[in-house]
Structure 1
Amino acid sequence: MKKSSGKKRVSSLTFLIATTAVLAAVAVLCLFGSNLLYAMRVRNVNEQRAEVEKRNTERYEAYRQEVQELQDRLTANNNISADWPQPDTQEGISIVDLTNYPLDNPGTVTVSRQDVMLGGLLLVNEWHSRPSDFDESSLVSIMTYARSMGVTKSIWRNSDQKLFPVAANALLDALNAAKEAGLEGYVVREAYRSISDQQTLWDAEYNRLKGRHSAWTDDELIAATKKSINLPGTSEYNSGLAFTLYLYENGNDELNKMVFSESEQGKWMYENSWKYGLVFRFPLQDFPTKGTVSRAYKTGVNVEMNLFRFVGIPNATVMHHLDMCLEEYIEYLMAHPHIAVFEDGQLKYEIVRQQVGDDSSTFSVSISRKTSNYTMSLDNMGGLITIYEY
């Protein structure tokens, strides 16, 4: 009986050991299986990630290739789209209407109204007053600016005369070119006027006329005053982009007696100012030169003034070529909102006008990414004009 009991204990122990061994084996197999499954999942994830990265790389390369091919085509064709009409001449200036043609390689940018307020095309006249959010803070003294550019000869009447830097720079470029042509003696007669200064001038003229014509109505007095002084906010002097010129040189009586429009200096400026981004602002019949056609019905100004206005070289080029005043040019861009300007058969400028309104402080603007060399300007008629230079 004792031997039988001992055999049972051995048998139970053996069973326990065997069972434990089996469970341990199962646990090892489970652990191995779990690690194997995890490794397979990791491998699958890595394979999927690699496949996604490969597809992304292939797509990026395809996009980059398309962009490069477009850029190569544009470079080979002087940035001219194959769909564009060809210029009508290979000599001089030619303007092509692209109104029905979209921008090449388009994109969008967001711009601040203040950043494009003073690009050069802000229309200020009898019917379009200077915007209420106009910022005068970047005006510079012509004297200080000219001296900082190395100009030692006085071209200013006093240190209070101011312009925005773009206009001052264009003025100096024009005067330097005139000097190279052997012509000097230019002096700025008048430049920027503040609204308060304009109001003072308006009140003085209004009251002078009222004292002489006591029977006139207020409407009659206003109409008479406007013949010589613009209402505050409607004068080109209020833009900070315009100035008048006359001739003066200390001790040079012959030069000082000259009528600007009849002098060689005046004739040179009328003929060449556009090359430096300046236009003669108020053409009248046979003024400033014989044969000039009056634009008083457009500008609202019927007084002889040697006033030049900064608009930028691309815009001045078109205005000169088409013989337009600023009002006519903006109307032209409203009717032809996408044009290309060629010089001797080569694309020089691309000019695009978009309606953005006057109510927003920022605008989302469509642009062409063919070049990053572009400027923008509000026109004070709800439009934003982008000028690309090539």
Structure 2
Amino acid sequence: MSKKKISKEKSIRRAKTMTEIVISLVLVGTGAFFIRNSFNHAKTIEPSPYVEENDIQIDDPEATTVPDPNQTIYESLAVDTKDKFRGDLILVNKEHQYFGGDEDLVSITDMNYENEIDCFSAVDSTYTILRNVYEPMTKMVQDFYDKYHNDTLIIYGSYRSSEFQQELYDADVSANGGEESSRVAKAGFSEHETGLAFDFSETENNDYQGTGDFEWINANCYKYGFIVRYTSSKEKITGFQNEPWHFRYVGIPHAFYMDMHDLCLEEYIDLIREHPYERLNDHLEFTDDNGKEYEVYFVKSDDGNEKTTVPVPAGVRYDISGNNVDGFIVTVYKGQKPIVEEEEVTTKAFEDTSEENTENSDGEENDNSEEDYSDEY
């Protein structure tokens, strides 16, 4: 082959190679152009407003908190605000009037007859007391009788109407020639008007002082829900001198606490007020002689409304009582189930004795004769 022909073939191959290189560069340049153009027109995508920015929390089954079975769960109960004037713990004294009415009263004599109770008596069938007080009062006297076989106790002071209380007050003012009585409570300010209080006497000496056999009653009455309302040590607080014959029902938990801590009712009401519901870890808690546990707290009444919201424990027995001053006292019987209302036991009917009967009289000296059964105030 001639040199001229070889040189020509080389020139053709070189030209072809150069063409391929140029085409490749053009393709590379074009691709780079489009890629750069795409980046220049790209937009930042904002997060969707419908997606929460927080990380999704996945519950760990092993980390689940187990509820404390001993923790009290409270629920709201709407009660009539005016009911702060009702209940076993109402405070009635010279400063706090009793706004009563519709008391569920029973004749002590009639109830004794129906239940075949003959270990104590009342002056006559007109002497009445609240239905819920009759049973613990009777049980206390029956236990006293079983121990000492003494059947001389007689109820000479129990419920009395406001009208009768006023008569007693006026009579004492007239007898002493003064403008006011220092011995008899004004109408509306006597515990006897509540039906929660009663006075003992005895048929042999007509003078109950809580001594001798009767000392057992005064020392153990708290076990039945009663307190000796007026003692010499609390005279400056209660405003009344020692009355060992005057008993007041407040309920077993409260009678126990007052007896153990030597508190009169005024002091106890003040103490409970220091343990409001809002301070959940500072409710008044105690255990009685029988190992029963109680929790007590105060709820202020909503005096601007007809209803007051009272927190109460769910699934546990509790009582609510007004204090006759500024709110409600809730008593929780810890570990006890709510009491199911039972049908009312049929008892012998008795006539209304609100006006024409003689009821029970009143006066300071404990001169308890058959003709005049009177008490301190």
> 1:297-330 CA deviation, whole Å, 9 max, x = no partner?
1111125351000000011011111110100100
Which is worse superposed, 343-352 or 378-387?
343-352
Q: Distance in 2 between matches of 1:261 and 1:66?
A: 60
Q: Is it true that 1:136 corresponds to 2:102 in the alignment?
A: yes
* Deviation digits for residues 111-157 of structure 1 (CA, Å, limit 9, x no counterpart): 235767543101100010112xx223411111223333331445211
**TM-superposed deviation, 1:370:** 4.9
Verify the 8 A CA contact 2:84 2:323 in the aligned structure 1.
no
Taking the aligned partners of 1:171 and 1:316, their CA distance within structure 2 comes to 13
In the alignment, which residue of structure 1 is the partner of 2:25? none
Cα distance in 2 for partners of 1:244, 1:331 equals 26
What residue in structure 1 maps to residue 313 of structure 2? Answer: 368
Among residues 193, 200, 203, which one is paired with 2:167 in the alignment? 200
1:229 partner letter: V
Q: Structure 2 residue aligned with 1:320, among 244, 259, 272?
A: 259
User: SS where residue 181 of structure 1 aligns?
Assistant: helix
Asked if 1:264 corresponds to 2:232, the answer is no
- The code of the aligned residue for 2:251 comes to G
**Equivalence for 1:301:** 240
User: Structure 1 pair 258/139, CA: closer, same or farther in 2 (3 Å)?
Assistant: closer
Q: 1:151 aligns with which of 117, 124, 127?
A: 117
Higher relative contact order (CA 8 A, sep 6+): 1
Figure out how many residues of one structure are paired with residues of the other and give that number. Answer: 265
Contact 1:183 1:265 in 2 (8 A): no
Q: Which runs of 5+ in 1 are unaligned?
A: 1-61, 75-80, 82-103, 211-219, 249-255, 285-293
Deviation at 1:345, TM superposition (A): 10
TM-score w.r.t. length of structure 1: 0.62
CA distance in 1, matches of 2:289, 2:111: 35
Indicate the residue corresponding to 1:112 in structure 2: 80
- Structure 2 SS opposite 1:172: helix
Q: Who is 1:30 aligned against?
A: none
The letter for the 1-side match of 2:236 is: Y
Report the Cα offset of residue 180 of structure 1. 2.4
Aligned position for 2:184: 229
CA deviation after TM superposition for structure 1 residue 239, in Å? 1.6
Contact residue 340 and residue 347 of structure 1 kept, 8 A: no
Please state which structure has a larger fraction of its residues in helix.
Answer: 1
Aligned to 2:52: none
Separation of aligned partners in 2, 1:66 and 1:242: 50
Q: 1:379 to 1:359 in 2, by over 3 A?
A: farther
Q: Offset of 1:362 from its aligned partner?
A: 3.4
1:85 corresponds in structure 2 to none
TM-score (norm 2): 0.64
Structure 2 contact 109–124 (Cα < 8 Å) conserved = yes
Secondary structure of the structure 2 residue equivalent to 1:203? helix
Of 94, 113, 123, 1:126 maps to 94
Q: Which residue of 2 aligns with 1:380?
A: 324
Q: Is the 8 A contact 2:90 2:324 kept in 1?
A: yes
> CA 1:108–1:159 in structure 2 vs 1: closer, same or farther (change >3 Å)?
same
Residue 358 of structure 1 and its aligned partner are, at CA, apart by: 5.2
Contact 1:277-1:311 within 8 A present in 2 as well: yes
Q: State the alpha-carbon separation in 1 of the partners of residues 325 and 84 from structure 2.
A: 13
Kindly provide the CA deviation profile for residues 226-277 of structure 1, in whole angstroms up to 9, marking residues without a partner as x. Answer: x2111111111112100100112xxxxxxx1375325333201110000000
Identical aligned pairs, as a percentage? 25
Counterpart for residue 333 of structure 2 = 389
Over 3 Å counting, the alpha-carbon distance change for 1:163 and 1:258 in structure 2 is closer
Q: In structure 1, how many angstroms separate the alpha carbons of the residues matched to 2:139 and 2:85?
A: 23
Matches of 1:263 and 1:141, distance apart in 2: 28
**Structure 2 unaligned runs (5+)?**
1-60, 277-282, 335-377
Match of 1:246 in 2: 201
CA contact (8 A) 1:119 1:375 kept: no
Query: Is the 2:77–2:310 contact (alpha carbons within 8 Å) kept by the matching residues of 1?
Result: yes
Q: Tell whether the 8 Å contact from 1:206 to 1:221 is kept in structure 2 after alignment.
A: yes
Tell me if structure 2 keeps the 8 A contact 1:295–1:325: yes
Cα gap change, 1:117 to 1:174, in 2 (>3 Å): farther
* Shift of residue 109, structure 1, vs aligned partner: 1.0
Q: Give the alignment of 1:1-390 within 5 angstroms.
A: 69-70=67-68, 73-74=69-70, 81=71, 104-112=72-80, 117-131=85-99, 134-184=100-150, 185-210=152-177, 221-222=179-180, 225=181, 227-248=182-203, 256-257=204-205, 259-261=207-209, 263-284=211-232, 294-302=233-241, 304-337=243-276, 338-343=283-288, 348-357=293-302, 360-371=305-316, 373-390=317-334
- In structure 2, how many angstroms separate the alpha carbons of the residues matched to 1:177 and 1:359? 47
Aligned equivalent of 1:16:
none
What is the aligned partner in structure 1 of residue 14 from structure 2? none
User: Which digits, 9 at most, give the CA deviation of each residue in 1:31-53, with x for residues without a partner?
Assistant: xxxxxxxxxxxxxxxxxxxxxxx
Report the CA distance between 1:193 and its aligned residue: 1.2
Please, which moves more after superposition, 339-348 or 118-127? 339-348
